Amino acid sequence: MVDQTLESNPKRIPVLAISRKIIQIISFFLINYAALEFIFSAKFSLLENFVKVLPFLHSAKSSWTAGAGLLEYSFFTISQGEIPFFFIAVIALLGLFGGRIFCGWACPTGFIQDLLYGLAGENKRFSLEVDKSLKKVKNFGLIVMFILILPLGVYRISNLGSYIGYKEFLGPLTENTLAPISLSEFLFVTFPGVIQSIIDDVNIQVLFSEGKAWSTILFFVYIIILVLTVFWPRAYCKYLCPYGAAISFSAKYSLVKLQRMPTRCPGRKECGICEKVCPMQIRILDEPYNGFTGEGECTLCLECMEKCPYDAIKWKFGA
Ligand code: SF4
Ligand code: SF4
């Protein structure tokens, strides 16, 4: 029963949104610390180790670092014929204790998507069914990469000849398995590289050089994804990100979650603001009111909580 005496809150300063932006900016520079080195003409060797072990960064490495994250190390371990127990455990624990908070507050790729979305500020959304199906695409991408890389590990411990042959067949995928499905690889490695070549050679032909068909296709696919992100917030996070796919398995059961007070919330017809602002298109009002993670998709951005005019959404820690 909704408390009829409740009044909606007047407009207030978006403290959470501002804090999130500040943290995103700091993370962006820490993770891509080479930008700081460039600005201050310094060498932050301490940060190099930090980036290399920062556990989430499957691909949030810049073109200037040799850093890699949990998912990249996991795939590398599989390619060596070993099971990445440690990395899998860390991903599972991160999801369990923090959900997808890294996506919402620290991921540089997420930050860039938020900036792009800010250009139009139009939260377009697919129908419920389409959104549900598209959210499975990222799991599919992860599984395909796993199927591709698994034989490499098997051959490595059983048949060296086949290992060498398969390694040649995979080409650059052997070393950088997730690159084709990594937006951050595109943003921080491919894109700056292409721009640099165009500037150096003053020639756009670099995009269409022989033997680069796949790179060219991917280049334009990512440009389209970025354009779509202007209208569909966090399109890559929702539908394609391999880290998002990996962590959402355990983030679904995250101890950090949101809850909605039914006694304060008049529902979708009277309000529904939370669902309209949610960049991950979570059907908040269909989720269990006493604790929800949006099937592991909630990035804990807290937009819904801050914009709720009746203060009906709170965060909670616990089962
Ligand atoms: S924003 Fe959502 S949770 Fe808050 S009152 Fe409106 S419908 Fe309810
Ligand atoms: S449910 Fe709320 S906190 Fe979670 S992603 Fe949507 S707006 Fe952000």
Of the ligands numbered here, which is closest to the C-alpha atom of 258?
2
Output the pLDDT for position 34. Answer: 61
Task: Report residue 245 as tokens.
Answer: 């796919």
Place of tokens 């200037």: 64
Domain 257-317 carries which CATH code? 3.30.70.20
Residues of the chain with CATH 3.30.70.20: 257-317
Task: Report residue 220 as tokens.
Answer: 């334009």
Distance, in Å, from the CA atom of 83 to the CA atom of 87, rounded to the nearest integer, reads 9
Ligand 1 close to Cβ of residue 308 (< 6 A):
yes
According to DSSP, the β-strands at 256-260 and 313-317 are antiparallel
Ligand 2 close to Cβ of residue 101 (< 6 A):
no
Confidence label for 230 from pLDDT (cuts 50, 70 and 90): very high
Residue 209 confidence (pLDDT) above 70: no
Please, are residues 75 and 149 in contact by the beta-carbon 8 Å criterion? yes
Give me ligand 2 centre to Cα 198, in Å.
40
Ligand 1 close to Cβ of residue 312 (< 6 A):
yes
Confidence label for 133 from pLDDT (cuts 50, 70 and 90): very high
Percentage of the chain lying above the pLDDT 90 cut: 56
Q: Which atom of ligand 1 is nearest to the CA of 8?
A: 5
Q: Which atom of ligand 1 is nearest to the CA of 261?
A: 3
Please, are residues 234 and 113 in contact by the beta-carbon 8 Å criterion? yes
Distance, in Å, from the CA atom of 187 to the CA atom of 193, rounded to the nearest integer, reads 10
Q: How many of the other CB atoms lie within 10 Å of CB of 319?
A: 7
